[in-house]
Amino acid sequence: MPFDYDLFVIGGGSGGVRAGRVAAETGARVGLAEEYRMGGTCVIRGCVPKKLMVFASGYSTAAEDAREYGWNIDLGDFDWPRFRARLHGELDRLEGIYRTNLARAGAEIFDQRAVLKDAHTVELADGRRFTASHILIATGGQPYMPEVPGGELAWSSNDVFLMDELPRRALIVGGGYIACEFACILNGLGVETSQYYRGAQVLRGFDDEARGHVAELIQNRGIELHVGTDVERMERREDGIWVKATDGREATFDAVVYATGRKPNTAGLGLREAGVKLGRWGQIIVDDYSQTSVPSIYAVGDVTDRINLTPVAIREGAAFVETVFNGNPTKVDHSLVASAVFTQPEYASIGMTEEQARDERPIEIYSAAFRPMQSSFIDRKERVLFKLIVCAESRKILGCHIISPGAAEMIQMVAVAIKMGATKEDFDQTVAVHPTMAEEIVLMKTPVRTA
Strand partners, 291: 298
- Residue 377: phi, psi to the nearest 5? -60, -35
Query: Rounded to a whole number, what is the largest CA-CA distance in the chain?
Result: 76
Residues whose CB falls within 8 Å of the CB of residue 48, separated by 6 or more in sequence, listed in order:
39, 42, 90, 91, 94
Closest CA to 415 of 329, 348, 331: 348
Catalytic residue among 120, 134, 226, 434: 434
CA separation, residue 339 to residues 208, 231, 414 (Å) = 16, 29, 12
Query: Which residues does 242 contact at the CB level (< 8 Å), separation at least 6?
Result: 234, 235, 236, 250, 251, 252
Backbone torsion region of residue 94, taken as left when φ is above 0, otherwise alpha when ψ lies between -120 and 50, otherwise beta: alpha
Distance of alpha carbon 168 from alpha carbon 189, whole angstroms: 10
The count of C-alpha atoms lying within 13 angstroms of the C-alpha of 220, restricted to the half-sphere facing its C-beta, is: 14
**Cβ-contact 91, 48 below 8 angstroms:** yes
Q: Which residues contact 420 (CB under 8 A, 6 or more apart)?
A: none
| Sheet of strand 169-173, all strands in order from the earlier edge strand to the far edge | 155-156, 255-258, 169-173, 192-197, 224-227
Active site residue 434: yes
Strand 114-118 with 121-124, pairing: antiparallel
Q: How far is 246 from 143, CA to CA, in rounded Å?
A: 22
Cβ contact 181:262 at 8 Å? no
Q: Which residues of 364-386 are buried (b: 16+ CB within 10 A; e: fewer)?
A: bbbbeeeebeebeeeebebbbbb
DSSP assignment string, 40-105: HHHHHHSHHHHHHHHHHHHHHHHHHHHHHTT---------HHHHHHHHHHHHHHHHHHHHHHHHHH
Cα separations in angstroms, 262 against 178, 339, 392: 10, 17, 37
Q: Which amino acid is at 434?
A: H
Half-sphere exposure of 369 (CA within 13 A, CB side): 12
Radius of gyration of the chain (CA): 24
Q: Give the active site residues.
A: 434
